[in-house]
Amino acid sequence: MWQHLWVSVIGRRAVSALGLANRLLPDHLKREDAAYAAQPVFENQLLEATDETMTKKKPNLRVVSLIASSTEILNALGAGKLQVGRSHECDYPPSVLDLPAITRPKFSVRGGSAEIDKRVRTLVEKGLSVYEVDADALEALHPDVILTQDQCQVCAVSLRDVEKAVCKLLHADPRIVSLHPHTLDDIYRDIGAIADAIDDPQAGKKLVASMKKRFAAIRDKVADQPRKRLAFIEWVDPPMSGGHWMPELIDIAGGESVFGTTGQPSPWITLKDVAAADPDVIVIAPCGYDLEITQREVRPLARYAIWQQMRAVREGNVFLADGNAFFNRPGPRLVESCEILAEIMHPDVCDFGLRGEAYVKYKMARAGVIEKVA
C-alpha cells in the first residue's frame, strides 16, 4: 500500500502518489510502501514518550530515516531529537521538515495519477531505481543508524539504494535497519526493531501496547453493530484496492473487506469488479494524496454509468479520505486510520472527531458524458 505512492508536486505541496507500487511491478516483484504530501496535523495520542528519555540514554546517536513511516515511529518512540536527516517524503510530525532531505525522485513529479503511474512504470520496466540518495549529504550527517525498507523498490528509497550510498561513505559505518511490513504484527515487529536500534526497547514495547489497546477499544465499540462490506480503493487510475494490513483495519473497525487479503499485495481491480461486489460502503484514499487532491482525482468517475449505478454511490455511502496521512504508512497513525473506518461504518456509536478533516462524504459532480467501462 503502504504503500502505493507516486510523487506529485503541486505548488509547495509534494504528493507521493507512489502508492501504486504494487501495480507497476511484475508479479514476482509486487510490493508497496509510503508517501509525501502536506497533510493536516492531528495530535497523535501515541506521541507520549519524551525526547528527554531518549537523549539521556544515547545523547550522541544520530539517526537518518529514509521512509515516512519510520520517521513517524521514531518520533512516537520519543526519539525525534535523534533524527538528523530524512527522505523527501517525510513530513510528519511537522518538525521534521526542518531536517535536510537527502533523497529525491528520478522522474517528473507533476501531473495526475495516470501520468505519474506511466512515468514510474517506465523506470521500473527498464530496471532503474525510482529514487536516489545523495551520498555526499548522507556522509555529512555522520549517521549511526539509517532506517529504510526492503518491501518496495518504487514506493520509497529501497535497501539497495541505501546500501549503494553507504558504500561511498568514508567516515561512517552506520547500522542499517530495513523494515518489511505486511501485517499489523509486522508493524509491531518493526517498531521493536527501531526501538532496539536506538537502545530503548521499552519505548517500543510501550508504543506497541498503546496501539493494541486502542485497537481493542475500537473493536469493543463496534462489537454489537452489523458488519458492513467495505471496498477500499487506494488508487484511482488505474484502480487498486488495499491489501497488506488494510483488511485487518477494516475487520477491527467492524467491517468486511470486499477486496484484498491480509498480508498480501494490494490487488488490481476494475469498476466492474466494484459493481459486481456491491459493497455497502466505498472508501477512496489514494496513497500520497490529501483530501484536496483526492477530490480532484475522483471527478472523472462521474462520467461512468457503472459508477453512477452502484448502490453505495446512489445511497450516499462513498467517502474520500486523506490517503497520505492515513492508511498507507505502516506506523502509529494506523490507529487513527482504523478510527476513520469505524466512524464511517458505524457513526451511531463511533465519533473520534476525524470527520471533515481526515475524511469527507463524496459528492458526485454533474455527470456530463457517460462512458462505458471495458
Residue labelled with grid coordinates 521538515: 97
Statement: residue 21 has pLDDT above 60:
no
Q: Which amino acid is at 100?
A: P
Residues 170-188: tens digit of each pLDDT:
566 889 898 999 999 999 9
Residues 147-164: tens digit of each pLDDT:
988 755 545 555 566 666
Give Cα separations from 47 to 41, 71, 133, 274 (angstroms).
13, 12, 29, 37
What is the C-alpha to C-alpha distance for residues 71 and 91, in angstroms, rounded to an integer? 8
Find the mean pLDDT for residues 43-65.
58
Q: Provide CB contacts within 8 A for 9, sequence distance 6+.
A: 15, 109, 110
- The closest alpha carbon to 71, from 49, 45, 42, 93, belongs to 93
What is the C-alpha to C-alpha distance for residues 30 and 266, in angstroms, rounded to an integer? 9
Q: Which pLDDT band, with edges at 50, 70 and 90, does 18 fall under?
A: very low
Instruction: Output the pLDDT for position 270.
Output: 96
Q: What is the CA radius of gyration of the chain?
A: 20
* Other C-beta atoms lying within 10 Å of the C-beta of residue 269: 19
Find the mean pLDDT for residues 356-369.
81
- Write the secondary structure of 260-313 as one string of H (helix), E (strand) and C (coil): CCECCCCCECCHHHHHHHCCCEEEECCCCCCHHHHHHHCHHHHHEHHHHCCHHH
Residues 131-148: tens digit of each pLDDT:
678 888 988 999 999 998
Statement: residue 202 has pLDDT above 50:
yes
Q: Where are the beta strands (DSSP E) in the chain?
A: 5-10, 13-18, 63-65, 83-86, 103-105, 131-133, 145-149, 175-179, 228-235, 240-241, 255-257, 281-284, 318-321, 359-361
Q: Which pLDDT band, with edges at 50, 70 and 90, does 51 fall under?
A: very low
Please tell me whether residue 249 adopts helix, strand or coil conformation. Answer: helix
Find the mean pLDDT for residues 248-258.
98
What rounded mean pLDDT belongs to the chain?
80
Q: Provide CB contacts within 8 A for 45, sequence distance 6+.
A: 210, 214, 335
Instruction: Output the pLDDT for position 217.
Output: 98
Phi, psi of 199 (to 5 degrees): 65, 40
Quick one: 347 exposed, middle or buried, by C-beta within 10 A (0-12, 13-18, 19+)?
exposed
Instruction: Output the pLDDT for position 133.
Output: 82
What is the C-alpha to C-alpha distance for residues 123 and 107, in angstroms, rounded to an integer? 8
Statement: residue 117 has pLDDT above 80:
no
Statement: residue 352 has pLDDT above 70:
yes
Q: Which pLDDT band, with edges at 50, 70 and 90, does 168 fall under?
A: low
Q: Provide CB contacts within 8 A for 118, sequence distance 6+.
A: none
Residue labelled with grid coordinates 461486489: 277
Statement: residue 35 has pLDDT above 70:
no
- The closest alpha carbon to 162, from 192, 197, 129, 190, belongs to 129
Residues 267-279: tens digit of each pLDDT:
999 999 999 999 9
pTM for this entry = 0.81
Residues 277-323: tens digit of each pLDDT:
999 999 999 988 899 999 999 999 999 999 999 999 999 999 999 99
Statement: residue 192 has pLDDT above 70:
yes
Statement: residue 129 has pLDDT above 90:
no
Phi, psi of 322 (to 5 degrees): -75, 100
Q: Which pLDDT band, with edges at 50, 70 and 90, does 38 fall under?
A: very low
Find the mean pLDDT for residues 323-331.
95
Instruction: Output the pLDDT for position 326.
Output: 97
